[in-house]
Amino acid sequence: MSRFHVKNEVVVDEHTGLMWTQNAGLVEFPLTWEEALAEIKTFNKSGLFGYHDWKLPNRRELFSLMSHEVINPSVDAGHLFTGIFHGYYWTSTTCARLPDQAWYIHLGGARVFKGMKHRSYMVWPVRKIHPGNSRVWQTGQTVCYDGSGNRMDWPRPNRRRSESRKNLAGATVQTRGRQHP
């Protein structure tokens, strides 16, 4: 069985459980990181290709497409994508040490970088085929920061998970405006 197959205007990656837009150049020009997040929200409002749960891929999800055996693009052999720009694509992953920076990947050579969120790079939407069941390790990022390093309210964390946190030392934990003993 091949790794990739096309379903209408999307490509399903059987190895990772992710669905990508077939056209990696769907957004025809580079955007800042915050503009990229806003564009993803627009895709979800409009129901791009019949889905409302697109997201900017995290660093590991986008890197899962990379191959160091080919260049320009450095995407795994047998891919069925079109419109791949051989330059930089944003990930949703904020740099842990520098919250005004995010990770991006060079699709010409499968290289990973971090840089300021006010720079402009390409956007490639992804969604999980079965939410919560991706075969790609998640980054662990639970907080999102804007280009100035200020905490953002998007994407929202899993509400059940954040509300069910327990502090075993008996201290009060503040979660989404509520206090929990």
Instruction: Tell me the per-residue pLDDT of 79-127, one tens digit each, with 9 for 90 and over.
Output: 999 999 999 999 999 999 999 999 999 999 999 999 999 999 999 999 9
The highest-level CATH class for domain 4-144 is: alpha beta
Q: What is the pLDDT of residues 155-181, one digit of tens each?
A: 444 433 333 333 223 333 333 344 334
User: Any idea which residue has 């904020």 for tokens?
Assistant: 94
Question: What is the CA 100 to chain-centroid distance, rounded?
Answer: 17
Q: Where are the domains of the chain?
A: 4-144
Q: Considering the chain, what percentage of its residues have pLDDT values greater than 90? A: 62
Do 56 and 93 contact (CB within 8 A), yes or no? Answer: no
What φ, ψ does residue 173 adopt, rounded to 5°? -110, 130
Helix (H, G, I), strand (E, B) or coil at 154: coil
pTM of the complete model: 0.73
Could you give the C-alpha distances from 37 to 87, 145, 166, in angstroms and in order? Answer: 19, 11, 31
Quote the CA–CA distance of 120 and 134 in Å, as a whole number.
28
Do 125 and 63 contact (CB within 8 A), yes or no? Answer: no
Do 62 and 136 contact (CB within 8 A), yes or no? Answer: no
How high is the mean pLDDT of the chain? Answer: 81
As to burial, measured by CB atoms within 10 angstroms (0-12 exposed, 13-18 middle, 19+ buried), residue 90 is: buried
Could you give the C-alpha distances from 72 to 8, 35, 122, in angstroms and in order? Answer: 25, 26, 15
- Give mean pLDDT, residues 58-84: 92
